[in-house]
Amino acid sequence: MALLLLLTNYDAVAQNLKNNQELKISALLSRENTVLLLVDHQVGLLSGVRDYNTAELTHNIVALAKAAKVLGIPVIITAVDSNGLWGPTLPELVATLPNVSIIKRTSINAWDDANVVKAVKATGRKQLLVAGISLEVCASMPAISAKEAGYDSRVVIDASGTFNESKRIAGMQRLNTLGIQVTDYATAAVEMLKDNADPLSGALYNAIDLSFSNIVYELSEATKKSIK
């Protein structure tokens, strides 16, 4: 059984790479060809997350949004039943992207909403980064549907969250089987930055807010001052 799963996953990944080559899509994220879709990062859903500390998850979501803003990546935000059970979009996310209108919908799969699809298509970009709560529904379903529609979908695992370990495992296994890459928010950001000599690098590293990099930066600055 384990061997069968391994072979199935290998075939799915190989097919995904072949599809990307045919569409002339890079295996790496391109700043010029990526669009970010943030799905159902809402107060009510966040309260149920158990695979991440909610403060950490909020930090990651906001850091991903800030990184996209720095790099000029188009961001689409959508929320389901925001006036009902699942509550409003995270205020920290709204504050980070105040000029991004939130697409309200009723469909469980965000890709079933015509306005979401229209917004993605309007960017003219083919690499779709998706994050959402929950991982196995709100992030995975639109990523799967977008892949079927010809997009190179990737799921940002640490800017998504879910409600128990079984759901996390099932979601990850499904993505893996279907050949959809997963990444983390900081890797996605620096992948699109490409070069530390880029004038945006300082702002980008500040946006992703990795604790260790902040310490390294402070030490570096202190060393420079002591040399002077």
Q: Over the stretch 56-100, which tens digit does the pLDDT of each residue have?
A: 999 999 999 999 999 999 999 999 998 888 999 999 999 999 999
Q: Compare 211 and 94 and report the one with higher pLDDT.
A: 94
Distances (CA, A) of 151 to 60, 115, 133, 167: 24, 17, 21, 25
- 148: annotated active-site residue: no
Confidence of residue 16 (pLDDT cuts 50, 70, 90): low
What pLDDT is recorded for position 2?
Answer: 44
Q: What is the mean pLDDT of residues 155-163?
A: 98
21 pLDDT more than 60: no
Provide the domain limits for residue 145: 2-227
Q: Say which of 71, 90, 129, 138 is annotated catalytic.
A: 138
Whole-prediction pTM:
0.86
Domain tally for the chain?
Answer: 1
Q: What Å distances lie between residue 78 and 1, 103, 171, CA to CA?
A: 39, 4, 20
CA within 13 Å, CB half, 132: 31
- The total of other beta-carbon atoms located within 10 Å of residue 113's CB is 19
Task: Read off the pLDDT of residues 29-46 as tens digits, 9 standing for 90 and up.
Answer: 999 999 999 999 999 999
Per-residue pLDDT, averaged over 111-135, amounts to 98
Q: What pLDDT does 84 receive?
A: 86
The CATH code of the domain that includes 115 is 3.40.50.850
102 φ, ψ (degrees, to nearest 5): -90, 125
